[in-house]
Amino acid sequence: MRHDAIIIGGGFAGLAAATYLARARRNVRVLDTGKPRNRFADASHGFLGQDGSNPRDILETARAQLLAYDTARLTETEANAAWVHEGGFAVALAGGEEITAHKLILAFGLRDELPDLLGLRERWGKTVLHCPYCHGIEFSDRQLGVLYSTPMSVHQANLIAEWGPTTLYLNGAELAGDEAAALAARNVSIEPAPVARLTGEGTELSAVELADGRSRAIAALYIAPRSCFNSPLAEQLGAQIDESPLGPIIRTDGDRMTSVPGLYAASDIARAPHSVSWAVADGVTAGTSAHRALVFG
């Protein structure tokens, strides 16, 4: 059977796209590896009606609701390869099966490349964070920090100061004069010394230990890690990819169509900034756009 659409990635964007296609009575198949980007977080914030919910619980509910439609199917597998095929697309699955569809939606998400710092990785998504809108108010008025990784870290520190007293840990980097002045205007402290490790009970964060032996109290550390695609399929298919300071982004138009006709991309792989709400919205856009293309050609 040739599907109307195949969706690679069963996270928030992929399930949203699939739900709208299924509601349009189209045969849709979702391929998912079960490793959403926010799996390290215990709660998702800012998503309307689900503020504070566990992201895995939201996805499990969405999966069950999708599969209530008899034209939808979800397969827990990896897509190893994809190519343009007879006016549509073909996808090779990890088990050796090849499936085809008229339209293809990429929603496989990103992988964060975390700094190699002792005590950081085990706290990722708990007290080492990326987005203050998603995880900011929970640490209000406590000692906050930003770990410098790119020039965007200065912008991040100026923003984080909205939630509490903030220190920018340069970790040996240097600032331009105008950057230091902007930080001072926002009452952001600057710590130039290299960072040795993060400490605290369990996944809690209590201190940043510096290479010179000093220790500074902290409740949450924000970082802006570079990210990379979870899959090479966009490159395989020849989609236009742009480079941003934080990683690659698949170029799409307002309908989430890539530079390859019939190929759509949604979620963090095709936008910046990122959030669950934006992922769902982009999935809806990709799903409804793909459906209109199926109808009108």
Q: What is the pLDDT of residues 104-162, one digit of tens each?
A: 999 999 999 999 999 999 999 999 999 999 999 999 999 999 999 988 899 999 999 99
Which is more confidently placed, 244 or 253?
253
**CA-CA distance, 91 to 77, in Å (whole number)?**
12
Indicate whether 164 pLDDT > 80. yes
Which segments of the chain belong to CATH 3.50.50.60? 2-112+226-296, 115-222
What single DSSP character describes residue 105? E
Cβ atoms of residues 150 and 224 within 8 Å: yes
Confidence of residue 210 (pLDDT cuts 50, 70, 90): very high
pLDDT of residue 17: 98
CATH class of 115-222: alpha beta
Tokens of 152: 């965007």
Cβ atoms of residues 180 and 189 within 8 Å: no
Fold category of 2-112+226-296 in CATH = FAD/NAD(P)-binding domain (3.50.50)
pLDDT of residue 297: 82
User: Do the strands 226-229 and 220-222 form a parallel or antiparallel pair, or are they unpaired?
Assistant: unpaired
Query: Which of 13-17, 97-101, 109-113, 119-123 has the least mean pLDDT?
Result: 109-113
Cβ atoms of residues 3 and 102 within 8 Å: yes
Give pLDDT tens digits for 35-64: 877 787 888 888 989 998 999 999 999 999
Query: Does pTM surpass 0.75?
Result: yes
